[in-house]
Amino acid sequence: MKCLQVCALSLVLISTIASLGCAVNPATGTPDFVFMSEESEIKKGRELHEKIIASTPIYQDESLNQYVNEIGQKLAKLSDRPDLAYTFTIIDSPDINAFALPGGYIYINRGLIGYLNNEAQLAAVIAHEIAHVTARHTVRQDAARKGASAVSVATVLTTGSIVAADAADLWASAAVSGYGRDMELEADSYGAQYLYRAKYDPNAMIDVIGVLKDQERYARFRAKEAGQKPKSYHGVFSTHPRNDQRLQEVIATAGTLPKDADGQINSVAFRQATNGMVVGINYDMAMPGQENRYIHRKLGFTFVHPAGWQVENQRSSLVALPADKHTQLTLGIALLKVPMEPSAYLRDELNIGLLGQSEPLSQFGLLGHTGITQGKDGQPSQRVAVLFQGNRAYQFAGVVTSAQDDTDFMTIIQSFQPARVPPKGTSKRLRYVLANANTSYEALANHGRLGANGADQLRLLNGDYPRGEPTPGEWIKIVE
């Protein structure tokens, strides 16, 4: 009997592991245990991309976007997954970051581009992110999480030991968290190969790490002054020191360009593409969906309304209504007195009883609840909702006279989100000047009224942090 139980449990283990699915990784050429087909991977990436485009400001500079796309497409065609339809997007943010989504969606922040110094360095960042896609890192992490759970359950079945199951969970957890360092190094390795194939110097990858390590060093200095925790760039740039032996080895294996090759530095093209780029806060930032978007600057929220609708800011509420004004959605604000669930708020604070189509809301970091009240005594039904933002409760209510009304109301409710709206001001822009014997960062910072740390900011922009000065005859970045 015991033998039959063991055999049965062994079959469960085998079928559990087999259910993980196996595919050959296009970059490594080795089998991957994954849950997601390439078709599903592309679909998931597209869905996430649409959400990002709908909620995140995109940098509106056609020539710079075209420049980044041309570099990206060149590298992508030489990658291990050249048949994917890659999309390259510049996020309008001063933060230092770049990231990739499954299926070929690559993003780089405007802030990161400003601190790079030539096309090869920009290509290195893009190649690194392409490598995350080609090696299917997101998919592999997803499989590792699910596999950890599956193997843990199988361990309980075959050993009967909760202790063993806990050990499996700990191992799986370590494996998943360990993928961060290993996958970033792997992305550097494949990214360096793509650079080499495109005739860029693979050592540009190490140059970028130097640029970002300077940023990290400066951030630590400023954070210490302010008593705060510093932020750092994701992945390899926050885990590798400049002299990391493993990193240098994987870069070296990518290949060495001939001595007479210029390594596609392309400083002139990079300078032309980035001249005039916004530095720091973009006061002219375009919110996504600007044409049909309402922004409340004082309270810091925004939402998208249907085409043809208008929003009226009344004394105690906002009212959104269509052109014919046959219905309206009212938005009121109240302070949360005590912590509670959004559904409880509708019931206890607004005295709203049983709801039809009742469902929780979770969007853009906000929690809420929505549903439809049942009309009584000839009264029409209403779409109601509440969303919590900090200590504020945003209350929505609108009379539903048709299915289209409810669709329009939900367009507004589900697009409601916090808005990082910059105060009114004049954006600073990146410019290039030729240094001479009298040029110093301190003098340039004073001339540009860049503040107490202006000279350090200019050194960071030009790769001269912490104590470097301009070399006569070289092009340097200034901010004006």
Where is pLDDT greater, at 21 or 184?
184
The CA distance from 274 to 478, in Å, is 12
Looking at residues 464-472, what average pLDDT do you find? 96
Per-residue model confidence (pLDDT) at position 17: 43
- What's the pLDDT band for 101 if we cut at 50, 70, 90? confident
Mean pLDDT over the full length of the chain: 82
Higher pLDDT, 139 or 311: 311
Weakest-pLDDT range from 38-52, 231-245, 420-434, 457-471: 231-245
Q: Name the burial class of residue 437, with classes exposed (0-12), middle (13-18) and buried (19+) by CB atoms within 10 angstroms of its CB.
A: exposed
Give the range with max mean pLDDT: 122-126, 171-175, 216-220: 122-126
At residue 120, the pLDDT reads: 97
Q: Where are the domains of the chain?
A: 1-274, 290-418, 422-480
Highest mean pLDDT among 360-364, 423-427, 475-479: 475-479
Residue 235 has pLDDT above 60, yes or no: no
The domain at 422-480 falls in which architecture?
Answer: Roll (3.10)
Give the confidence band of 180 by pLDDT, cuts at 50, 70, 90. low
Give the separation between CA 192 and CA 186, rounded to whole angstroms: 10
Half-sphere exposure of 105 (CA within 13 A, CB side): 18
| Average pLDDT for 387-395 | 95
Instruction: Output the CA torsion 225→230→233→235 (10° steps).
Output: 140
Does residue 282 contact residue 217 with C-beta atoms inside 8 Å?
no
* % of the chain beyond a pLDDT of 90: 52
Q: What is the pLDDT of residues 428-450, one digit of tens each?
A: 999 999 999 999 999 999 999 99
Provide CB contacts within 8 A for 44, sequence distance 6+: 36, 102, 103
Helices 119-134/267-274 angle, 10° precision: 90
- For residues 268 and 290, what is the distance between their CA atoms, to the nearest angstrom? 34
Position 228 scores a pLDDT of 84
Higher pLDDT, 175 or 348: 348
CA angle 115, 243, 76 (to 5 degrees): 55
Length of the chain measured in residues: 480
The three-point CA angle 153-179-248 to 5° equals 160
The structure tokens 């469960």 sit at 12
151 phi/psi in degrees, rounded to 5: -65, -35
In this predicted structure, the answer to whether residue 197 has a pLDDT above a threshold of 50 is yes
Q: What is the pLDDT of residues 281-317, one digit of tens each?
A: 898 877 666 678 898 888 889 999 999 999 999 888 9
pLDDT at 372: 96
Residue with the bigger pLDDT between 159 and 431: it is 431
Band (pLDDT 50/70/90 cuts) for residue 200 is very high
**3-state class (DSSP) for residue 418:** strand
Please compute the mean of the pLDDT values over residues 21-49 and round it to a whole number.
72
pLDDT at position 193 is 93
Which residues have CB under 8 Å from 460's CB, separation 6+?
115, 214, 215, 218
- What average pLDDT score do residues 333-349 get? 94
Q: What average pLDDT score do residues 39-43 get?
A: 89
pLDDT of residue 9 exceeding 90:
no
Give 119 or 41, the one with higher predicted confidence: 119
DSSP states of 109-162 as a string? EHHHHHH--SHHHHHHHHHHHHHHHHTTHHHHHHHHHHHHHHHHHHHHHHH--H
pLDDT surpasses 50 at 143: no
pLDDT at 378 over 90: no
CB 16 within 8 A of CB 153: yes
Evaluate if residue 196 carries a pLDDT over 80: yes
Candidate CATH numbers 3.40.1000.10, 3.40.50.620, 3.40.50.12170, 3.90.320.10; the one for domain 290-418 = 3.40.1000.10
Token pair for residue 338? Answer: 């005590």
Please give the average per-residue pLDDT across 194-223, as a whole number: 90
* For range 86-100, the mean pLDDT: 92
In this prediction, residue 389 has a pLDDT band, given cuts at 50, 70 and 90, of very high
